[in-house]
Chain A
Amino acid sequence: MFGVSEPFKRFVLVFLFCAAWELFPRLNLLDPLILPPLSKVMKRAFVLLLQGDLLQHIYQSLWRVFAGFLLSVAVAFPLGIFLGLFKKSEKYLEPLFGLFRPLAPPAWIPVAILWFGIGDKPAIFIIFVGTFFSTLTGITMAVRRLDKDLINVAFIFGANLRQTIWFVVIPSLLPSVFAQLRLTLSLSWMCVVAAEMVAVKKGIGFMMMEARNLFRTEDIFVGILVVGLIGLLMDRLLNMVERKTIKWRKGLSAHEFFETG
């Protein structure tokens, strides 16, 4: 199209979107109090970064995300492997999990505050309950999908348990484990923002909520931009690690690999 090179084409819509964000409020098609122009939001972001405590908020949110993410992964992985290996265990645990799974993360906010008060703990708790079941299901399924015949191959060649796990099970699981880690991380990021809107005194979510209370529209949109960009960045980062680790499918992410079988 118009001889534009590929990388530029991909961002045409992003560019149009930014242009609309800038022009609509500028031309008073939208009230700038409802949606400030992009340039003003960006300017404000820099001011907050350099003079305000935006970095502090980001730091707080990130650390909560990593704590919640690690906690969730640390509990869900071993349990998921167990459930995957022992089909019968699911029969007993599934009704229990089925009860908790439909509870959206914000539903836990009152409980979190009741139990943990205000601060990091309730936020981490909400990330945990918000990501735990998805992670657990993902890992259970990954273990279930293990190709039994591939394990039979290991047996045929005389592999012991340790060798079977190291040479066959782990490499088999790697693609779906990475896919799950990406999903869990992005879910954690969504949860933290929700949690911070009520249960804490620092963090991006808190910053946005405070801005709303003080009618600082620009700050709210700074929050939106920051949340989006950081989420994107984290996903890209994990994707990069994934590509480095799973060299045998260059150019295909784990997710795509499973789609194409």
Chain B
Amino acid sequence: MSFLKLVNLSKSFNTDKGIVQVIKNISIDIKKGEFVAIVGPSGCGKTTLLKIIAGLEKPDDGSVLLQGEEANSNNIVLVFQNPLLFPWATVQENVGFGLRLKGIPKIKIEKVVLDLLKKIGLNDFKSFYPHQLSGGMQQKVALARALAVDPVLLLMDEPFASLDAIAREELQEELINIWRMFEKTIVLVTHSLREALLLADIVYVLTPRPTVIKSVHPIEIPRPRNAYLPILSHLELKLKKELAESKKIGNLDNLTFSDSQLTSDKL
């Protein structure tokens, strides 16, 4: 049974250049506990898609069903591209933010938060302020803040895009550990094919605007994976070609853009 179901989502924005169709008829089924990656060129509407799932944007058309019901944003948490920590709050206070909103007693929050910080190795930094932490560390705190509310669904919007290579690899590994330890359903959006292939159970490839699903790839490579596995490189190359191809189509004048071409090889 599908856990999260995106049905025919479409969204366009009114801009000064007229109406821009961002996503078009996107349908995805996600199983409970699945690690899903969505890859697409920048500007194709990945952030918009996550915002729709999280309830930050309303789709023009289509619906988001969580366990068969219209999703209200409750307990779907989105980790943004930037850590977006509260600069006036310590690590511990930041991580406890969601719980505090729910009116949970302070003592209980402290226990949950400290426990979580210990689990993901942030215990020593609990009284630090965000500006005292590296970018990677800040993103880890943002992740902890999301986990603290025990979300049913964890959405991540290019969470490692602004990190240096070393921090990125570290956090990718950490994310897999977290996914296993907390048994979360994760939807990760990225423009890095490698990241998607390294982490996910299934990869959706999107086209440029108006964005549709170009192809779907279940990745049945056992974990832990590393970037040097020949099969991964092979897959990456294949998808890269596919993306380049879709970009070519996307670059043509919108008028000559035929979406039947693109949807034809959609699963």
Interface residues, chain A, with chain B CB atoms under 8 Å away: 147, 149-150, 152-159, 163, 167-168, 171, 174, 246, 248-249
Contacts and interface: CB of A to CB of B under 8 A. Distances in A.
Given A158-B98, A158-B101, A163-B101, A248 B73 contact: no
Contacts of A168: 86
B96 to A, nearest CB: 11
A167 B101 contact: yes
B78 A156 contact: yes
A94 B129 CA distance: 39
B16 to A, nearest CB: 14
Contacts of B76: 156
Contacts of A157: 77, 97-98, 101, 149
Interface in B90-106: 97-98, 100-102
A158 B102 contact: yes
Contacts of A154: 101
A246 B80 contact: no
A158 B54 CA distance: 11
Interface residues of B, number: 24
A172 B179 CA distance: 32
Given A149-B82, A150-B86, A168-B86, A155 B73 contact: yes
Contact of B84 (A149, A159, A174, A248): A149
Contact of A246 (B73, B82, B88, B98): B88
A249 B132 CA distance: 10
B79 to A, nearest CB: 9
A248 B129 contact: yes
Contacts of B75: 158
Given A152-B56, A246-B88, 11 more contacts: A149-B80, A149-B84, A150-B84, A152-B80, A153-B84, A157-B77, A157-B101, A157-B149, A158-B73, A248-B88, A248-B129
Interface string B117-135: 0000000000001010000
B84 A171 contact: no
Task: Across the A-B interface, give the 7 residue pairs with the lowest CB-CB distance, nearest first.
Answer: A157-B98, A248-B88, A171-B88, A153-B84, A156-B78, A159-B101, A248-B129
B141 to A, nearest CB: 12
Nearest to B98: A157
A163 B103 CA distance: 11
B97 A167 contact: yes
B89 interface: yes
B66 to A, nearest CB: 15
Nearest to B87: A248
Nearest to A245: B88
B260 interface: no
A221 to B, nearest CB: 44
A174 B86 CA distance: 13
6 contacts: A156-B77, A157-B98, A157-B101, A158-B98, A167-B97, A248-B88
Nearest to A160: B101
A154 B73 CA distance: 12
Contacts of A174: 88
B86 A171 contact: yes
Nearest to B102: A158
